[in-house]
Amino acid sequence: MINPLPELPTEQSDPRYSQIDRLPTEQVARLMNQADAAVPAAVAVAIPAISAAIDAIAARMADGGRLLYVGAGTSGRLAVLDASECPPTFGTDPSLVQGVIAGGLDALTRSVEGAEDDAEAGAASLAALEVDALDSVVGVSASGRAPFVLGALGEAARRGALTVGLSCNDGAPLSAAAEHAIEVVVGPEVVTGSTRLKAGTAQKLVLNMISTISMIRLGRTYGNKMIEMSAMNSKLADRALRMVSDITGADHDTAGNALDAASGQVKIAVLMIQHGLDAGGARALLESHGERLSDALSS
């Protein structure tokens, strides 16, 4: 049996906050800030587990697998947010990193009552995505007990996918259901049970690590530069220009001309400048080195 919610640390009432409705705004803000300051330390405790999960995820992605996040409520919204940022940041196909939220897209902007309690719907969402043994599925649930997420993780495991459980309580059912368990224990919330607060912050920090470090492992950065980003607006176009100049030492005119010839692709522009190639030759060189700029530059 799953332990009832009142026994979970994230559901406890912290007496430090029992009078917040009577305090001045600045004092409440300081209390919230103090509570939030404890979150990074809780994440730090889980870094060995986070790192092991990332290495396993990146290995499967290198073989062509996808990264799928599954969550309900706030956890689901954070999952969809992290997944949706991967294409513009790392130039990935939208299918490579996906977020699944209980209740579907409607649940992104409003509560869909009962959606998180439907384990069968969770399993069906993974079946619909045709999850297989190359994929990695990260279940995200502050309580670690959301039936939708547990159902999804069970279906993922049945299909041979790598499973990761991210929760904010120790000994969570989600941890028992996953191959890799990540538990970031943040304790009671300022507003009792409102896990969009510390627990949500903790989950966002961990999801940042999972997606970002996986993409680093896959060669989608050069140093700390997001060389795969899509230059879809003037800010990003300017960033691409500065990256090409920084990497190659070329002036902005040279970098800009190379970027134009490379259709805005930073890696291609860099190789064109560094190796004196046209766009086609730079693309061929990059492909021959598995799309890794560092390897192509040193060839």
- Comparing 69-78, 135-144, 173-182, 289-298, the range with the smallest average pLDDT is 289-298
pLDDT over threshold 60, residue 6: no
- For residues 39 and 43, what is the distance between their CA atoms, to the nearest angstrom? 6
| Tens-digit pLDDT profile for residues 89-144 | 999 999 999 999 999 989 999 888 789 999 999 999 999 999 999 999 999 999 99
Closest CA to 189 of 71, 17, 45: 17
| Tens-digit pLDDT profile for residues 62-74 | 999 999 999 999 9
| Tens-digit pLDDT profile for residues 205-236 | 999 999 999 999 999 999 999 998 767 788 88
pLDDT over threshold 60, residue 1: no
- For residues 297 and 266, what is the distance between their CA atoms, to the nearest angstrom? 13
Average pLDDT over the chain, rounded to an integer: 94
Place of tokens 């990146």: 58
**How much is the pLDDT for 232?**
73
Contact between 19 and 184 (Cβ < 8 Å):
no
Contact between 141 and 72 (Cβ < 8 Å):
yes
Alpha-helix residue ranges (DSSP H) falling in the chain: 25-37, 39-45, 47-62, 73-84, 86-90, 119-128, 147-158, 173-177, 198-217, 234-248, 252-261, 266-275, 279-288, 293-297
- Roughly what angle, to the nearest 10 degrees, separates helices 252-261 and 234-248? 110
**How much is the pLDDT for 230?**
66
Q: How far is CA 108 from CA 71, 201, 260, in A?
A: 11, 17, 37
Beta strand pairing call for 180-183 and 67-71: unpaired
From 116, 155, 183, 228, active-site residue: 116
pTM of the model: 0.91
**How much is the pLDDT for 7?**
78
Q: Is 116 a catalytic residue?
A: yes
From 11, 85, 179, 291, active-site residue: 85
Q: Is 26 a catalytic residue?
A: no
Residue 237: pLDDT band with limits 50, 70, 90? confident
Average pLDDT in the 159-182 region?
97
